[in-house]
Structure 1
Amino acid sequence: MRNNRAMTPHRIAVLATDHVVGLDLGTPSQVFGAARDADAQRLYTVDTCSAGGRAVRSTAGFQVLPDHGLELVERADTVIVPGVQGDATERHGVVEPEVTEALRVAYDRGARIMSICTGAFVLAAAGLLDGRRATTHWAHADRFRRLHPRVDLDATVLFVADDRVLTSAGVAAGIDLCLHVVRTDHGSEVANRTARSCVMPPWRDGGQAQYIERPVPPAPDSSTAGAREWARGRLHEPVTLRDLAERSRMSVRTFTRRFRAETGLSPTQWLLNERTDHARLLLESTELSVDQIARRSGFGTTAALRQQLHLRIGVAPSAYRRTFKGTAPR
Structure 2
Amino acid sequence: MSQMTNLLKSFQITDGGASESRLQGVRLFKSTQPMARRPVVYDPGICIVAQGHKIGYQGGQAFQYDANHYLVISVTMPFECETFASPEEPLLGLYIDIDMSQLHDLIGRLGLQPEIGNGSEKGLPRGIGPAVLDENMEGAITRLLTCLQSETESQILGPGLVREILYRALCGTQAPILYSLAMHSGTFSQVAHALKVMQSDYAAKLDVEQLASKARMSTSAFHRAFKEITSDSPMQYLKKVRLSKAKDFIVQENMKTYIAADKVGYESSSQFSREFKRYFGQSPAEMIRELRTG
Q: TM-score higher than 0.5 here?
A: no
Which structure is higher in RCO with an 8 Å CA cutoff and minimum separation 6?
2
Q: Under TM normalisation by the shorter chain, which class is it?
A: 0.3 to 0.5
Per residue, is there more strand in 1 or in 2?
Answer: 2
TM-score (norm 1): 0.35
